[in-house]
Amino acid sequence: MSEAAHKDYAGAKLGMWLFLYTEILLFGGLFVLYAVYLFRFPAEFARASNELSLTFGTVNTLILLTSSLAAAAAVTAVQKGARQLTFWLLVGTVITAAIFLVNKYFEWSAKFHHGIYLNGPGLAEAAPGEVIFFSLYFITTGLHGLHVLIGAILLTVIAGGVRKGAIHTGDYVKLENSALYWHLVDLVWIFVFPLYYLIL
């Protein structure tokens, strides 16, 4: 009986991709709701979208795209055996993730300050469609933010593994899979950004 000393990298990656499909469907459910309510309340969605900060949204988009670049480059770096570079690219990814979350904190705080939150007083007089917009906004970006946090923690652990030499050019599937998770986080935002910040 052959001992499974040789790891199944393709299998591990397949497993990760399958998990990513579940994430697509998880956020997908929120997009089902969004699609229906956008159709029902086009004017109110536009009005509410206008109240979101285009600056924050765009900056956060650029931040996540850059973090994805770093994560992707980290995979190349580990493949080439560049341990230091891999480590710093991962650190860079985590730092950009942290900046994203800090931005989110300021963005949400500003809204909370005006009483705009789930069932908040700032929405008491708002039109029905606007309430729906903000509810979906907070739930979607909240769920997304949770995934950013999870991804950041994951990548930090992986960076530690690279530093210790546990993850290296002969066995880096954990890094690959974490990077895949991170890209998913970026992908969700790629759709969240125009749908919530750019509606006219």
Residues 100-139 that bind another protein (CB under 8 A): 118-119, 127-132, 135-136, 138-139
Among 91, 99, 154, 180, which residue sits at the site for another protein (rule: CB under 8 A)?
A: 180
User: Rounded to whole angstroms, how far apart are CA atoms 94 and 96?
Assistant: 5
Q: Which are the contacts of 5, defined by CB distance < 8 A and separation ≥ 6?
A: none
Interface with another protein, residue 39, by CB under 8 A: yes
For residues 158 and 172, give the distance between their C-alpha atoms in angstroms, rounded to a whole number.
10
Dihedral (Cα; 145, 149, 155, 159), 10-degree rounding: 140
Among 10, 109, 164, 165, binds another protein (CB under 8 A): 10
> Under the criterion CB under 8 A, does residue 43 sit at the interface with another protein?
no
Which of these, 153, 192, 189, 154, lies nearest to 63 by C-alpha position?
A: 189
- Nearer residue to another protein within complex by CB, 62 or 153: 62
Question: Does 198 contact another protein by CB under 8 A?
Answer: yes
Cα distance between residue 20 and residue 180, in whole Å: 8
Nearer to another protein, 10 or 165 (CB): 10
Selected from 14, 102, 150, 166, the binder of another protein by CB under 8 A is 14
